[in-house]
Chain A
Amino acid sequence: MQPDPISPRARILQALAADPRTRLLHGHRFRAAEALPWILAVVAYFAFDTYLSLGIAVLIAVLFTLSLDLVIGYAGIATLGHATMYGFGAYTAGLVAVHFTREPVTGLFMAMLAGAAMAFVTGRLFLHLRGNTLIMLTLAVVVMLSEVANKATSLTGGEDGLRGVVIDPLFGIYKFDIWGRTRYWYVLVTLFVLFLIARRIAHSSFGFALQGIRENDRRMSAIGSPVPWRLLVIYTIGGAFAGAAGGLLAQSNRFVGLDVFSISTTSTVLIMLVLGGTGRLYGALVGAAIYVMLHHFASAINPFHWMFVVGAVLILTVLFAPAGLFGLIEKLSSPLNRRAR
Chain B
Amino acid sequence: MSESPALEIKGLCKSFGSLEVSRNVSLALERGARSALIGPNGAGKTTLVNLMTGVAKPSRGSVSIGGEDVTGLSQAGRVKKGLARTFQINNLFREMTVLENVYLAASEQAGVAGDPWRPAARHRGVFEDVIDALEMLRLTDEANTVVRHLPYGKQRLVEIAIALSLKPKILLLDEPAAGVPSVEVEWLLDVFMGLPKDLSILIIEHDMDIVFKFARKIFVLVQGAMLMSGTPDEIAASDEVQAVYLGRSLEGRER
Q: Are A206 and B113 in contact (CB under 8 A)?
A: yes
Question: Are B120 and A224 in contact, CB atoms less than 8 angstroms apart?
Answer: no
Whether B131 contacts A9 by the Cβ 8 Å rule is yes
Query: A229 — which chain B residues lie within 8 A by C-beta?
Result: 114
Main secondary structure of the interface of A (DSSP, over half): helix
Provide the B13-57 mask, 1 if CB < 8 A to any CB of A, else 0.
Answer: 000000000000000000000000000000000000000010100
Q: Are A27 and B120 in contact (CB under 8 A)?
A: yes
Contacts of A227 in B (CB 8 A): 76
Report whether B104 and A203 are in contact in the complex, using a CB–CB cutoff of 8 Å.
no
In the complex, whether B108 has a CB less than 8 A from a CB of chain A is: yes
User: Would you call A24 and B103 a contact (CB within 8 A)?
Assistant: yes
A204 x B140 contact (CB < 8 A): no
CB 8 Å contact bits of A200-212 with B (1 = contact, 0 = none)? 1101111111011
Q: How many chain B residues touch the partner (CB < 8 A)?
A: 49
Give the docked Cα–Cα distance between A237 and B116 (Å).
11
Whether A8 and B76, one on each chain, are in contact in the complex, defined by CB atoms closer than 8 angstroms, is no
Q: With contacts defined as CB atoms under 8 Å apart, how many contacts are there between chain A and chain B in the complex?
A: 140
Least Cβ distance of A18 to chain B in Å? 11
Among the 9-residue stretches A51-59, A89-97, A213-221, the one with 4 or more Cβ atoms under 8 Å from chain B is A213-221
Give the contact-size bracket for chain A.
Answer: 35 or more
Give the chain B neighbours of A340 by CB distance below 8 A: 144
Residues of A within 8 A of B146 (CB): 341
The answer to the question of B126 belonging to the interface, with a C-beta cut-off of 8 Å to chain A, is yes
B156 to chain A, nearest CB (A): 15
Given contacts A21-B97, A225-B76, contact A209 B91 (CB under 8 A): no
Q: Which of B76, B128, B135, B143 has the most CB of A within 10 A?
A: B76
Within 8 A of A (CB), among B104-139: 104-105, 107-109, 112-121, 123, 126-128, 131-132, 134-135
**In the assembled complex, B211 has its CB within 8 A of some CB on chain A:** no
B104 to chain A: which residues have CB within 8 Å?
A: 208-209, 212, 220, 223, 225
Select one of A8, A205, A211, A226 contacting B115, CB under 8 A.
A205
Q: Is A151 an interface residue (CB 8 A)?
A: no
Smallest beta-carbon distance A210→chain B, Å: 9
Min CB–CB distance A313 → chain B (angstroms): 26
A221 to chain B, nearest CB (A): 5
**Which one of B100, B114, B162 lies within 8 Å of A24 (CB-CB)?**
B100
A222–B53 touching, CB < 8 Å: yes
Q: A204 and B76 in contact (CB under 8 A), knowing A9-B131, A22-B144, A209-B104? A: no
Tell me the A222-238 residues at the B interface (CB within 8 Å): 222-227, 229-230, 233, 237
Cα separation A229 to B55 with both chains bound (whole Å): 18
Q: Which residue of chain A lies nearest to B109 when distances are taken between CB atoms in the complex?
A: A224
Known: A21-B97, A22-B144, A216-B93. A205 touches B162 (CB 8 A): no
Asked if A155 is an interface residue, CB under 8 A from chain B, the answer is no
B88 at the interface (CB under 8 A from A): no
Nearest chain A CB to B65 CB, angstrom units:
13
A206 to B126, CA, bound (A): 13
A218 to B146, CA, bound (A): 19
| B95, CB-defined interface residue at 8 Å | yes
Q: Would you call A296 an interface residue if the criterion is a C-beta within 8 Å of the partner chain's C-beta atoms?
A: no
Distance to closest chain A CB from B14 (angstroms): 19
Chain B residue numbers with a CB within 8 Å of A233 are: 114, 116
List of B residues within 8 angstroms of A136 by Cβ: none
- The distance in angstroms between the C-alpha atoms of A291 and B220, with both chains bound, is 63
Q: Which of B96, B112, B115, B120 is most buried by chain A, counting CB atoms within 10 A of its CB?
A: B120
Q: Which residues of A contact B160 (CB under 8 A)?
A: none
Q: Complex formed: what's the CA distance from A224 to B104 in Å? A: 10
Is A12's beta carbon under 8 Å from chain B? yes
Q: Are A205 and B91 in contact (CB under 8 A)?
A: no
Central interface residue in A24, A216, A233, by most chain B CB within 10 Å? A24
Q: Hey, which chain B residues are within 8 Å of A341, CB to CB? A: 146
What residues of chain B lie closer than 8 Å to A23, measured between beta carbons?
97, 100
Is A144 an interface residue, CB under 8 A from the partner? no
CA distance A201 to B120 in the complex (A): 10
**Bound form: Cα–Cα A209–B126 in Å:** 14
Q: Which of B104, B131, B134, B162 has the largest number of chain A CB atoms within 10 A?
A: B104
Interface pairs A-B: 5 shortest CB-CB: A224-B79, A28-B119, A206-B116, A223-B105, A209-B113
Offer 29 A-B interface pairs, CB within 8 angstroms, sorted by A: A8-B135, A12-B143, A16-B127, A19-B144, A22-B144, A23-B97, A23-B100, A24-B127, A25-B127, A27-B119, A28-B120, A28-B121, A200-B117, A204-B116, A204-B117, A204-B120, A205-B115, A205-B123, A206-B115, A209-B107, A211-B96, A218-B91, A220-B104, A221-B76, A222-B85, A223-B108, A224-B108, A225-B104, A230-B113
